[in-house]
Amino acid sequence: MTGQAGTTIVSALAEFAADARTGLPAPVMDDVTGRVLDMFGNGLAALELTGHDEPHEAVRRLAGRWGGAGESSVLGHPLALPAPSAALVNGTLAHALDFDDTHLPSVLHPSASVVPAALAVAESAGVPGAALCQAIAVGNEITNRLGMASYLPELRNSLFFEKGWHATSICGTVGAAAASALLMDLDAGGVAAAMGIAASMGAGVIEANRTGGTVKRVHCGWAAHAGVVAAMMAAEGVTGPPTVFEGRFGFFQAFLDGRYDAAAITDGLGDRWELLRTVYKPYPSNHFTHPGIDAALALRAQGLRAEDVVEAELGVAAAPLRTIGEPYEEKVRPRTPYHAKFSGPYTVASALAGGGGLGLHLDDFTEAAFRDEQRLALAARVRVVADEVCTEEFPLAFSAVLRVRTKDGRRLEHRVHSSRGGPEHPLSMDELEEKYRLNASRVLPPEAVAALARQVRGLAARDDVTGLLEPALAAARPPSPPPN
C-alpha cells in the first residue's frame, strides 16, 4: 500500500495500521511468534544481572514506587504494574544484553520496544492473541521503515547514527505507540494521533556505545513506556500535527536536518514486509562485532590457538569502526562487561579464547571473563582498522576481515561478507529456539522454559493474552539491597 497523493506520512502509516485488523499474511503472523520468543529469552537472561545499579532493577524499583493499578505482568517477577510501567521494565530487560533482533539497513532493534509495549497493553485490555500479533507486526514494520528513511546511500550509513542518535529508541517509540493504539481499539485517526504524540517523546543518544554508561540499556524500556503513554493520551483526545514527520519543524527536520527517503517509508507498505528481513543475533554483543566474531571462530576451527597470536588486525566498515574500535584505549580494556559488548578487540579475543552457546554467549561477558588478564592481553594485540570492501558492503551486510600473525611466523586471514544471523545467513527456527532455551534456562527450570515456549507458539490462537507470562514467574528474584 502506498499513500495517495496529498496523503501525509502519518496518515498513510495509520491507515496501514488500521487495515491490519482485517488480517495479515500467514508468514507475517508466524514471524511474530519468533520475535516474542526471542524477546522473552533475552529478557529472562538479563535477570541474571543483579545489583542495585543494574538498570532493570533500578527502573523496577522506580515503577514500584510510582504505584498504580496492577494490570500488566513484569517478566520474571510476580509483580503487576500499570501498563506504561510494565512496558518500561520489560523493555529495559529486552535490551539489557544487547541480544535483540536487528533490521538492515536501518541498523535498529525494533522488537525490544514494540513487543513490551504491545504486551503490556494487550494484557491490560484482555485482547486475543491474534490482535497482539497484528499489533506487534505493525509496530515493528513502522519502526523499521522510519529507520530505513534515514539510510543515505552516499553516506553508506544511517544519518541517525552519524548524528549520534539512537534510532532504535527514537523510531521504536513511534512503533510502540502505533501498536499500543491498535490494541486500545483506536481508529486510524487515533493511531495517527498516537504516533504524532510519540514523535515528541522519542529520544536517545549513543555515546554510551563508545565510552560506557548504563543509560542505553534503558532506551528501549523508555521507548516502550512512552509509546504506551502516547497511545493513552490519544485515547483521551490529545492530538499530534498532521505533518509530524515531513513538516518544516517535524520529526525528520528535527532529527535528520530534513534529509530522508520518504519512499522508504510508504513504498510497498502492506505488501513488502521489512519485518521479515529483521534478523536475530546469535551472539550477545553489538551487532557490529559479529562478523569479527565469525572470522575469529572460523580461524579457531582451523586450528588457531589464542596463545599463538602475536598480533591481529580486524578490518571493518568505516562507520562501525567508531563504535567497536574507538577510542582504542577504551576498546582494548573496556570499563564493564556490558561495555565489552561494543569492543571489537575484546569480542575477537573472546571468540578465540572462550566461546559457548551458538559460538559466543553470555558466559563470555561475565565479570570473571571480563577480568581474565589473558583475554585482555589478547585483546590488546588486536587492532581495528577500516577496510574498503567492508565499507562498501555496509550497512546492507555486516562484514569483516581478520588477519593474524602467529608465533611460528604464519599469516592467517579470514573474510566474512555477511555475518551469521545476517540477511545472507539467517538463524534457522531451530537455532532461534536453541538461543531462547539457552537464555531462559539461566533463570528458569526446564519445565518452565518449555511451558513458556508452548505459550508463545500458540499465541495467535489464544482468546486472551492474560497469563502468557505465568511460566516465567519462577525467575523472580528479591530486589537487591541498596549499597552501604
Q: What is the CATH number of the domain that holds 162?
A: 1.10.4100.10
Do 181 and 77 have their domain in common?
Answer: yes
Q: What is the pTM of this model?
A: 0.93
The per-residue pLDDT for range 88-136, each reduced to its tens digit, is 999 999 999 999 999 998 989 999 999 999 999 999 999 999 999 999 9
Residue 103 lies in a domain: yes
Last residue of a domain, which of 378, 400, 416?
416
The per-residue pLDDT for range 418-451, each reduced to its tens digit, is 999 988 899 999 999 999 999 999 999 999 999 9
Do 269 and 299 have their domain in common?
Answer: no
C-alpha gyration radius of the chain = 22
Do 101 and 207 have their domain in common?
Answer: yes
Residue 477 lies in a domain: no
Do 41 and 156 have their domain in common?
Answer: yes
* pLDDT at res. 3: 38
Last residue of a domain, which of 385, 416, 447?
416
* pLDDT at res. 428: 92
Do 166 and 311 have their domain in common?
Answer: no
Do 73 and 23 have their domain in common?
Answer: yes
**Domain extent at residue 123:** 9-279
* pLDDT at res. 483: 52
Tally the domains of the chain.
Answer: 2
Report the C-alpha gap between 188 and 413 in whole angstroms: 54
Do 248 and 363 have their domain in common?
Answer: no
Sign of CA dihedral 150, 153, 155, 156: positive
* pLDDT at res. 481: 53
* pLDDT at res. 474: 66
CA distances from 260 to 185, 232, 254, 402 (A): 31, 29, 11, 34
Contacts of 310 (CB under 8 A, 6+ apart): 381, 405, 406, 407
Positions of the chain with pLDDT lower than 70, given as ranges: 1-6, 474, 476-484
Last residue of a domain, which of 386, 416, 446?
416
Do 257 and 110 have their domain in common?
Answer: yes
Q: What is the CATH number of the domain that holds 390?
A: 3.30.1330.120
* pLDDT at res. 1: 35
